[in-house]
Structure 1
Amino acid sequence: MSNSKEQRTQTLSQALWNSANILRSKMDANDYKSYLLGLVFYKFLSDKVLLYTANNLLEEETDDLQLAQKIYEEAYSDPEQKEDILNILKEEIAYAIEPQLTFTALVNQINTGEFQLESLAQGFRNIEQANEIFENMFEDIDLYSKKLGQTPQKQNATISAIMKELSTLDIAGHSGELLGDAYEDLIGKFAGESVKKAGEFYTPQPVAKLMTQIAIHGRENQRGFTVYDPTMGSGSLLLNAKKYSNEPGYISYYGQELNTSTYNLARMNMLLHGVANENQKLHNADTLDKDWPTDEPTDFDAVLMNPPYSAKWSADKGFLQDPRFSNFGVLAPKSKADFAFLLHGFYHLKQNGGVMAIVLPHGVLFRGNAEGKIRKHLLEEGAIDTIIGMPANIFYNTSIPTTVIILKKNRTNRDVLFIDASKEFDKGKNQNTMTDEHIQKILDAYIKREDIDKFAHVASFDEIKENDFNLNIPRYVDTFEEEEVVPLTEIVTNINETRAEIEKTTNELYGLLDELVGTTSEADKELQEFLANFKK
């Protein structure tokens, strides 16, 4: 990303974040993200209608939204032009917005005191009904919630204030990538504020960058690249593929998400990043409960996953007949669905050339029983390619260290590359961060696939077998550092300096104690006895 693009993204991100101040005192970030991101998305759709109509349909070149609004209103007032405009808009961009319901028109109504929340609600409904890709998109935005204000007037005032703040932003004028990155940055900031819920919808960008670059390595020029995330959250992992492909317009994205609010967030995120409707197939359902997709395509070039860690699932015996799990003879335990998620993703990976990257807690590397059997089966078929130990405290929802596991099908050998990247971070006040240099070091080790002292080791299958198929990273990568031997003369000097410091401090303390006086003769006598014993 160029510096100018970085600066523009930061400026846009900061302006969007400032808009959150209006809601920050009223509700938790997990609630207000739906309002702010939904309104940003509505403005994006609205601005696109105005500028597309003025510049592309009516060929009246402008980037001024007020002028575009006027041009749109005039054209819409002509019945013949109106019909043509509506038909073309629905065909070209899949929706249309009536002139009086555009974001610009509603802000004008706010400024003249005529705005009604029902107008915005109607705008939302119209978009949702325009095309199935927008179905129920705004269902999380309750414009009449008491959280916005106890009275209709206060609710109106809160939404009006946010819309006025957002109205100054040139949203549609930015390229899809620039706006998408700013939106992504905003989602990340929300994740930082709503720590408990963050893991449900966001994978930190450094982790997403690493996983995506590994998954796409060597296939940057492939047209028609397919990427799948069955626990997609806000879609951040999926969308990283665009950044590392030389054919981003030909990528197809497949994603599933259980949480409806987060699913809607991912849909918005896709559109704001400029992903064409036909290139995204997103689904709102329980990934483990019922397999998806079951219609072609069902296997993908890349599978990227950051599932909820050690989540509970049914582990119903019927799943032993499910093709995702049947080859392994056992199921992931009810209390820990980690391997259920892993096997689901692995099932949907292409036989030849497919690469899967999944983030999981370290327990999957060494826990026994059913998990041990699944791990052994995967190792015996050569499915586990690389184990990367990540630093602690880099995720919003947990401080525990995690591991990124890379899986492939039809490998020619069964060795495993271990990378101990637990020290590859910069310490932050509340959270550790990984820089591009840290990511590149890990990526280089993955590509070279050779032993690096105290960092990486290629373990043969026999070595893993000798370790009873335990993949705990310290068994394979020795990071022990011998402490420097300090000369005896230096130790003696340090001891003498410490003694002198203790003596000086003790004398100062005695001096302070000698100044104490009891408030009565009895108290003073008791104090003197205490001091005499204390100084022995």
Structure 2
Amino acid sequence: MIFTPPAVSKLLAKIVTLGKEKIGSVYDPTCGSGSLLLKVINEYKDQESYKDIKVYGQESNPTTYNLARMNMILHGMHYRNFDIQQDDTLEQPQHLEKRFEAVVANPPFSADWSASAGFLTDERFQDYGKLAPKSKADFAFVQHMVHQLDENGTMAVVLPHGVLFRGAAEGHIRKHLIKDKNYLDAVIGLPVNIFYGTPIPTCILVLKKNRQHSDNILFIDASKNYGKASNQNYLRSEDLEAILSAVDSRQAQDKFAYVAPIQKTSNYETIEKHDFNLNIPRYVDTFEEEEDINLASLLTDIENVNVELDSIDSKLEVFYKELGIKGVR
């Protein structure tokens, strides 16, 4: 199990509540101990609407499931205001008939799942015509979450970077989400080594069914925005502010953010041109120019090194003579 760092949870919570005075429900299909759900509702803790938010989650691990329910009670949630279920979300979803205004998750990275042919007629997957690979359930979780998302809701999910560019069935699903559904709103690249126990690079996908900016996708490269601890990187408050400001303003920023048109245009690098590959460096220019080389200074350094080498050779020649060694040079 990979635990979600508090700063990442806070980022997800702020993204799905951005610009919303209140929400009626929040859902996490891989809720773990429930901390991410609590982060979302805490965005409204100073408002009257806080007590009316309904919290839903599902967790496959029985021990963690019980911990999530205890966590809700310990944080003052009335038992009628939360519904945490225990089972495998992909195989046995427990809230399939419901739709939620905020959907968040940090599902297990590239987990195994059955991917059985029967899922092709499952209401969550049938529109896509393809299933996520058995050894990489990342897009299966995305498809499930999209299905549970309300028409005016916002979804934010943490995933490994591979979902941005892997081909075959995943490429097909990605294209369907962008071109046919037009649900993908933003792609945010996170720094490496911010998750405990794995250095894997990760990203956040933001999806909406009713998008205000339906002709483009926002790309943010926050891979260099972090602080360093002894053996772990972490998002600082200023990093969170920079990311959220870029999400809110939706404006291009040099080497940090780019708004990419979905359809082909004459002047821009577009998503369709890249065959719906979402690898962030294709859109956000992260190239750092190298400093100009001072040739005169470099030649002087080389001359100095040659002088030093000649001096060393002369000293070695003396040692060789003393040792009676000939022909060594």
TM-score, structure 2 as length reference: 0.89
Cα distance in 2 for partners of 1:502, 1:242 equals 69
SS of structure 1 residue aligned to 2:177:
helix
Say if 1:486 and 1:290 are closer, same or farther in 2 by CA, change over 3 A.
same
Q: Which residue of 2 aligns with 1:292?
A: 94
Shift of the 484–260 alpha-carbon distance from structure 1 to 2, 3 Å rule, reads same
Q: 1:333 aligns with which of 101, 122, 133?
A: 133
> Residue deviations 1:470-516, cap 9 Å, x none?
11111111110110103222223433455566678x58x969x96xx
Are 1:384 and 1:406, in contact at CA under 8 Å, matched by a contact in 2? yes
Matched, 1:376 2:183: no
Instruction: Please tell me whether residue 479 in structure 1 is matched to residue 286 in structure 2.
Output: yes
The whole-number CA distance in structure 2 between the counterparts of 1:500 and 1:212 is 63
Q: In the TM superposition, what is the alpha-carbon distance from 1:330 to its structure 2 partner?
A: 1.2
Per-residue CA deviations over 1:110-165 (Å, capped at 9, x if unaligned) read xxxxxxxxxxxxxxxxxxxxxxxxxxxxxxxxxxxxxxxxxxxxxxxxxxxxxxxx
- Equivalenced residues, count: 317
Partner of 1:261: 63
Query: Quick check: 1:271 aligned with 2:73?
Result: yes
Equivalent pair of 2:31/2:58 in contact (CA under 8 Å): yes
Taking structure 1 as reference, are residues 445 and 487 closer, same or farther at Cα in structure 2, changes over 3 Å only? same
**Where has structure 1 moved over 2 Å in runs of 4 or more?**
246-251, 492-504
Identity of aligned residues (%): 49
Report the alpha carbon displacement of residue 428 of structure 1 after superposing the two structures with TM: 2.6
Q: Which residue of 2 aligns with 1:190?
A: none
- CA distance change for structure 1 residues 502 and 411 in 2, over 3 Å: closer, same or farther? same
Structure with greater strand share of residues: 2
Measured against aligned partners, the alpha-carbon deviations of 1:301-332 in whole angstroms (never above 9, x if no partner) come to 11001001111110111111111111111111
Superposed, 1:362-511 pairs within 5 Å as 362-380=161-179, 381-412=181-212, 413-462=214-263, 463-499=270-306, 506=312
Would the aligned equivalents of 1:425 and 1:432 in 2 still touch at CA under 8 Å? yes
- Of 244-253 and 402-411, deviating more is 244-253
Secondary structure at the aligned position of 1:474 is classed as helix
Unmatched segments (≥5 aa) in structure 1: 1-196, 515-526
Q: CA contact under 8 A between 1:379 and 1:414: conserved in structure 2?
A: no
Q: Give the 3-state SS of the residue equivalent to 2:228 in structure 1.
A: coil
Task: Tell whether the 8 Å contact from 1:426 to 1:435 is kept in structure 2 after alignment.
Answer: yes
Per the alignment, do residues 266 and 500 of structure 1 end up closer, same or farther by CA in structure 2, a change over 3 Å counting?
farther
SS at match of 2:13: helix
CA change 1:233–1:489 in 2 (3 A) is same
Residue 240 of structure 1 aligns to a residue whose secondary structure is: helix
Query: Which consecutive unaligned segments of at least 5 residues does structure 2 have?
Result: 264-269
CA drift of 1:383 comes to 0.4
In the alignment, the residues of structure 2 paired with residue 435 and residue 263 of structure 1 have an alpha-carbon distance, to the nearest angstrom, of 30
**Aligned CA distance change for structure 1 residues 249 and 502 (closer, same or farther; 3 Å):** farther
Structure with the bigger percentage of helix: 1
- Name the residue aligned to 1:54: none
* Residue type at the aligned position of 1:481: E
| Pair 1:301-2:96 in alignment | no
Match of residue 135 from structure 1: none
Structure with larger Rg? 1
Deviations 1:97-119 (A, max 9, x none): xxxxxxxxxxxxxxxxxxxxxxx
Of 260, 266, 282, the match for 2:84: 282
Aligned to 2:266: none
**TM-score, L = length of structure 1:** 0.56
Quick one: higher RCO (CA 8 Å, sep 6+), 1 or 2?
A: 2
- Conservation of the 8 A alpha-carbon contact between 1:357 and 1:406: yes
1:58-207 → structure 2 map (5 Å cutoff): 197=1, 199=2, 202-207=3-8
Find the aligned partners of 1:252 and 1:336 in 2 and give their Cα distance: 31
1:346 aligns with 2:146: yes
Greater CA drift, 470-479 or 491-500: 491-500
Select 1:249's aligned residue among 51, 64, 70: 51
